[in-house]
Copies of this chain bind each other. A is one copy, B any other.
C-alpha cells in the first residue's frame, strides 16, 4: 500500500494526458459500464463533506474520494477545500494507495471536465472567455481550457474587486489578456464561452444579453442548494448537457431548472454520450449550449488511477 503526498501528485500530473483519460471515464459512465452510487454527504456546522465512489467494470481499482469545503478556513490560513482519494483492488478489496491530494485532484479533474465540455460544445470561434469567480477553480479552468481553445481574451467577474484584479494579474502572467468586468451582465454580453465557478447559492447570471452561439459550463453548483445560473439560461439553451443525468436531477443547475419546469428531463443529454458520439452536442454555430458539471466519481476514478499508473512507471 502506497501513501502518495500532494507534492508527488503534483510532480507526476504534468506527465499525464488527463483529457482523454477523463473523456474515457465519461464515456464508460454514460455507456453503463461504471457503478457510481449516489454521493454521500455530511453537513457540519462549519463545512460540508462529499463522498464520491465507484468503479468502472473490469478495471483494476475502485475509488473512494472524500472532498470537503470549509469556507471559513481561509480566515485561519487554511485552504477551504481539502480531501483525499483511496484506491482499492476490485479483485480483493485490498487498499492499494492513499492519494493525499488535499482536494487538488478534485480541482484538477473538475477543470479537465470543463475543458472536455468546451472541446465538444464551444462554438468554433471563441471570441472571449468569461470566467465567473476568482478562486482555484477559476484558475484551473483557464489553464485546461487553453489546451482546447486558442482564444486568450478573458473577461472576469467576482464579488470582491481586489480578488478579480489579483486573478487578472496572475492570468496575464501566463499569457491571457484578462480584463475585470464590472457586472455579470457585461460578462454574458461580451463572451461566447462562459465558465461559472462560484459556490453561490443564488443565481447571479441571467439570460439577458446572452448571445447566440454561446456555450456556458457551470461547475460551481454541486449541491441541491447551490445555483449560479438563472433558470432562463437553461430554458434559452438549445442543448442542455449533464455530466450525470441521475446526479443533475438531484443537484446543480439542471435540478433547479427542472424544479421550475424551465426544461424537460427528456431533453437533457449526457456528456459521455456526446464524447462517444452516441448523442449530438452542438449542431450549429449559433446554438446556445449549457453544460452542468456536478462532478461524477468516474472522474475521480480516472484521475486517481492515472496518477497511480504514472507513479508505477
Contacts and interface: CB of A to CB of B under 8 A. Distances in A.
Given A49-B88, A64-B51, A94-B78, A35 B40 contact: no
A155 to B, nearest CB: 32
Contacts of A64: 49, 51, 66
Contacts of A70: 91-93
A41 interface: yes
Contact of A47 (B73, B82, B93): B93
A309 interface: no
Contacts of A40: 37, 40, 51, 53
Identical copies in the complex:
2
Interface string A77-94: 010001010101011111
A62 B35 CA distance: 26
A64 B92 CA distance: 21
A105 to B, nearest CB: 14
Given A40-B37, A41-B37, A90 B46 contact: yes
Contact of A51 (B51, B68, B69, B100): B51
Nearest to A98: B98
A174 interface: no
Given A73-B92, A82-B94, 7 more contacts: A35-B44, A47-B93, A51-B51, A51-B64, A69-B93, A82-B95, A95-B100
13 contacts: A37-B40, A37-B42, A40-B40, A40-B51, A42-B62, A44-B93, A45-B90, A46-B93, A49-B64, A70-B92, A78-B92, A84-B86, A98-B98
